[in-house]
Amino acid sequence: MTGEAERSPAPTVDLATPGRALAVAAHPDDVEFGCGATLAKWAAAGCVVHHLVCTDGSKGSWDPGQDVADLVAQRRDEQRAAARALGAGGEVAFLGWPDGELEAGLRQRGQVAWWIRRLRPDVVLGHDPWKRYRLHPDHRHAGFLTVDGVVAARDPHFFPEHGVAHHRPAALLLFEADEPDHVERVGEGDLTRKLAALEAHRSQLRSTMSVDVGSPDAAAQLDAFHQRVRARLVEHGALAGVELGEAFKLVADL
Ligand SMILES: [Zn+2]
The predicted pLDDT at position 123 comes to 98
Q: Average pLDDT for residues 214-219, to the nearest whole number?
A: 92
pLDDT confidence tier of residue 63, bands split at 50, 70 and 90 = confident
pLDDT confidence tier of residue 7, bands split at 50, 70 and 90 = low
Ligand 1 center–CA 156 separation, angstroms: 31
pLDDT beyond 70 at 5:
no
Q: How far apart are CA 130 and CA 222, in angstroms?
A: 31
pLDDT beyond 80 at 3:
no
In this prediction, what percent of the chain has a pLDDT beyond 70? 97
pLDDT confidence tier of residue 8, bands split at 50, 70 and 90 = confident
Ligand 1 center–CA 136 separation, angstroms: 8
Phi then psi for residue 16, to 5 deg, are -65, 145
Return the higher-pLDDT residue of 63 and 181.
181
Furthest C-alpha separation in the chain: 63
Ligand 1 center–CA 27 separation, angstroms: 5
pTM of the model: 0.95
Residues contacting 179, CB < 8 A, separation 6+: 8, 249
Element (H, E) at 53: strand 48-55
> pLDDT tens, 66-104?
899 999 999 999 999 999 999 999 999 999 999 999 999
Ligand 1 center–CA 1 separation, angstroms: 43
Ligand 1 center–CA 15 separation, angstroms: 25
> pLDDT tens, 100-118?
999 999 999 999 999 999 9
pLDDT beyond 50 at 1:
no
Residues contacting 87, CB < 8 A, separation 6+: 40, 43, 44, 49, 193
Residues contacting 75, CB < 8 A, separation 6+: 28, 56, 57, 60, 201, 203
Q: How far apart are CA 206 and CA 5, in angstroms?
A: 46
Q: What is the mean pLDDT of the chain?
A: 95
> pLDDT tens, 120-131?
999 999 999 999
Q: How far is CA 205 from the centre of its chain?
A: 18
74-109 as b/e: b if 16+ CB within 10 A = bbbebbbbbbebbbbebebbbbebebbebebeeebb
> pLDDT tens, 152-211?
999 999 999 999 999 999 999 999 999 999 999 999 999 999 999 999 999 999 888 999
Q: Which runs of E-coded beta strand occur in 103-239?
A: 123-127, 171-175, 182-185
Dihedral sign from CA coordinates of 137, 138, 143, 144: positive
Ligand 1 center–CA 161 separation, angstroms: 30
Ligand 1 center–CA 122 separation, angstroms: 24
Ligand 1 center–CA 9 separation, angstroms: 30
